[in-house]
């Protein structure tokens, strides 16, 4: 291994691990060694087998073949209890917390000692205090977890693992839900854990993070371990190429925009939800033809609501939206049809719940929302299935959706290909306005490149695009103009080339750079 061969045995050693689910070989003959006291990154596209491998390590799955060695000792891990005993802790992408419980209660959950809670709680309180001081892991032990921010919830997950005295900490896509500032804090925590001799495995698809924090990095592709490198000896371009198996452009080639007329004029838009919480507080902006307007912000600051109102699936409580001068009806949650008729297309943020009906066949989803189109009409209220299938096959071909079978159940496509199904459907009709939310969430690198290029091509055809994303990289890469949302308001607007991550990060927390926050 390039990162230097120490004399101590590796903290984790996987030898010849194989695992298959039915006909799918998720892991094939994997070898991996992680040195004690290092941060080890694992990268790979969706479906490359990273999560399966870590699930085997944590006892969720049993490998079909191969051996796990912890500190040089062969250690079978039949379940997660065994993993915990072996000193392995895991922070999942989707947190495993009981939201109505306090931090303290969550930490001791499953590690209670004796039938009475009080002694365990007292012990945990003392232990938390120690961990807090040692690793910058400050969380109020009596706060209710459901009321904490995502970043703090993640800290609770880490505390849970540390409380169980783990020496090896696995983090699965830990920064996906964090603000840049929160991500920085997380990295500080990880570094201090490393300094204390803990071993950290970091699964991520963000190459920037790999470069910033890991000591070594392993690349997986199609269930196989492609290579393990010392981070210092590699580059994002090389890693991307290893992941995808071909050369990948990490930055999209982009010509300057030529903004035209104002297509969408949003004025003083407000929305108060059922609980009386104001989600949008007077949002105004203009979207022009031929430009991509990025909406940045930490998730939950009104971007989703903005997108829903514009797409006609959620009523606004105030304000106006004009499309080419004509006011849009903002009063109903069932205006999706009207928007489509006005050639406003919408790629929803949550494709699994909203953009697609997962149990449907691909061809049924390929016309979702457009099922009323004349060309799909068959005799006597029926749908022309042949026409629908033909349309689906055409978009499969054009958007290179894999596997290229329109009769497959949508749920069995990978995340990237599911997203392509939605994008194909919404972009093919050549809309005047494209509202697109989180276009590359959970999408692999190869597909990201494709999706970004398609969005740019639409812009270059003179269409107006509103891009909502929590990935600052994506916003910066695609947008011509950027507005940042915080707490239901627009906290600032920047020209894409004239700003940086730090400035946008401040805006995302509601602070106007250069001024003191009120």
Partner 1 sequence: MTAPLPRWADLVLIPALNLLLAFLVAGLVVVFIGEDPVEAVRLLLVGSLGSSYGIGFTLYYATTFVFTGLSVAIAYHAGLFNIGSEGQAALGGIGVTLVCLAVPWPYWWLALPFAILGAGAFGAAWAFLPGYLQAKRGSHVVITTIMFNFIASALVVYLLVNVLKAPGMAPETRNFPEGTFLPFMHEILAVFGIRMSRTPMNFTALLALAAAFLTWVLIWRTRLGYEMRAFGHSEPAAVYAGIDPVRITIVAMLISGAMAGMMALNVVMGFQHRLVLDYVGGAGFVGIAVSLMGRSHPFGVVLAAILFGILYQGGAELAFDMPSISRDMIVVIQALVILFTGALENLVRAPVERAFLRRRRKAA
User: Among residues 252, 319, 360, 453, which is the contact residue for partner 1, using CB under 8 A?
Assistant: 360
If one asks whether residue 349 binds partner 1 (CB under 8 A), the answer comes out as: no
φ/ψ (deg, to 5) at 96? -105, 65
- What is the four-CA torsion angle of 254, 260, 263, 268, rounded to 10 degrees? 90
Q: Which stretch binds partner 1 (CB under 8 A): 38-46, 107-115, 187-195, 340-348?
A: 340-348
Establish if 361 lies at the interface with partner 1 (CB under 8 A). Answer: no
Tell whether residue 374 is a contact of partner 1 (CB under 8 A).
no
- The whole-angstrom separation of Cα 120 and Cα 115 is 10
Q: Which stretch binds partner 1 (CB under 8 A): 165-173, 281-289, 361-369, 432-440?
A: 361-369
Which of the residues 11 through 50 are near partner 1 (CB under 8 A)?
20-24, 26
| Residue 505 φ/ψ, nearest 5 degrees | -60, -40
Q: CA-to-CA distance for 263 and 343, rounded, in angstroms?
A: 11
The only residue of 100, 333, 397, 407 in contact with partner 1, by rule CB under 8 A: 333
- The Cα–Cα gap between 57 and 66 comes to 11
Q: How many residues bind partner 1 (CB under 8 A)?
A: 39
Helix (H, G, I), strand (E, B) or coil at 147: helix
Least separation in angstroms between residue 342's CB and partner 1 is 12
Q: Residue 297 carries which DSSP code?
A: -
Contacts by 317-320 with C-beta closer than 8 Å and gap 24+?
317/270, 317/271, 317/272, 318/268, 318/269, 318/270, 318/271, 319/266, 319/267, 319/268, 319/269, 319/270, 319/280, 319/282, 319/283, 319/284, 320/265, 320/266, 320/267, 320/268, 320/269
Question: Which of 111, 144, 150, 357 is in the footprint of partner 1 by CB under 8 A?
Answer: 357
Give the whole-angstrom CA distance, residue 284 versus residue 425. 29
Supply the minimum distance, in Å, between the C-beta of residue 457 and partner 1: 24
Q: Does 189 bind partner 1 (CB under 8 A)?
A: no
What binding mask, one character per residue, do residues 94-133 give for partner 1 by CB under 8 A, x or -? ----------------------------------------
Q: List the interface residues with partner 1, window 385-424 (CB under 8 A).
A: 385, 409
**From 31, 134, 337, 397, residue interacting with partner 1 (rule: CB under 8 A):** 337
In the bound complex, what is the minimum distance in angstroms from residue 382's beta carbon to partner 1? 5
Residues contributing to the site for partner 1 (CB under 8 A): 20-24, 26, 311, 313, 333-338, 340, 346, 348, 350, 353-360, 364, 368-369, 371-372, 376-378, 381-383, 385, 409
């Amino acid at each position: 291994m390039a990162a230097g061969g120490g004399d101590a045995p590796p903290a984790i050693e996987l030898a010849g691990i194989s695992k298959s689910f039915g006909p799918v070989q998720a892991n094939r003959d994997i070898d991996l060694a992680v040195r004690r006291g290092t941060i080890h990154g694992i990268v790979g596209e969706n479906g490359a087998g990273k999560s399966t491998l870590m699930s085997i390590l944590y006892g969720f799955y049993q490998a079909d073949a191969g051996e796990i060695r912890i500190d040089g000792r062969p250690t079978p891990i039949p379940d997660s209890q065994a993993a915990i005993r072996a000193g392995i802790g895991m922070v999942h992408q989707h947190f495993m917390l009981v939201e109505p419980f306090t931090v303290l209660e969550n930490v001791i959950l499953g590690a209670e000692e004796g039938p009475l809670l009080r002694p365990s709680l007292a012990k945990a309180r003392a232990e938390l205090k120690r961990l807090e001081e040692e690793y910058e892991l400050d969380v109020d032990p009596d706060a209710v977890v459901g009321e904490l921010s995502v970043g703090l919830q993640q800290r609770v997950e880490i505390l849970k693992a540390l409380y169980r005295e783990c020496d090896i900490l696995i983090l699965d896509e830990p920064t996906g839900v964090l603000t840049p500032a929160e991500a920085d804090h997380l990295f500080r925590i990880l570094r201090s854990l490393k300094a204390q001799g803990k071993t950290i495995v970091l699964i991520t698809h963000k190459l920037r993070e790999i470069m910033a924090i890991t000591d070594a990095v392993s690349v997986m592709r199609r269930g196989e371990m492609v290579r393990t490198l010392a981070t210092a000896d590699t580059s994002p371009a090389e890693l991307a190429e290893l992941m995808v198996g071909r050369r990948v452009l990490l930055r999209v080639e982009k010509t300057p925009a030529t903004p035209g007329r104002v297509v969408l004029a949003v004025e003083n838009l407000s929305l108060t939800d059922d609980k009386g919480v104001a989600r949008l507080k007077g949002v105004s902006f203009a979207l022009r033809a031929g430009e991509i307007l990025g909406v940045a912000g930490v998730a939950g600051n009104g971007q989703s609501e903005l997108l829903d109102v514009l797409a006609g699936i959620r009523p606004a409580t105030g304000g106006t939206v004009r499309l080419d001068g004509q006011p849009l009806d903002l009063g109903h949650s069932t205006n999706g049809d009207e928007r489509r008729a006005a050639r406003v297309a919408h790629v929803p943020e949550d494709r699994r719940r909203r953009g697609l009906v997962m149990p449907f066949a691909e061809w049924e989803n390929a016309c979702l929302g457009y099922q009323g189109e004349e060309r799909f009409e068959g005799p006597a209220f029926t749908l022309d299935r042949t026409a629908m299938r033909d349309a689906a096959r055409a978009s499969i071909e054009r958007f290179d959706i894999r596997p290229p079978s329109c009769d497959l159940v949508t749920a069995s496509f990978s995340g990237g290909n599911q997203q392509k199904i939605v994008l194909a459907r919404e972009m093919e009709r050549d809309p005047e306005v494209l509202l697109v939310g989180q276009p590359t969430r959970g999408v692999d690198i190869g597909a990201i490149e494709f999706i970004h290029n398609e969005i740019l091509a639409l812009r270059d055809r003179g269409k107006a695009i509103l891009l909502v994303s929590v990935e600052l990289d994506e916003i910066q890469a695609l947008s011509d103009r950027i507005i940042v949302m915080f707490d239901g308001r627009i906290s600032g607007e920047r020209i894409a080339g004239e700003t940086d991550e730090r400035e946008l990060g401040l805006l995302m927390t509601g602070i106007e750079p250069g001024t003191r926050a009120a």
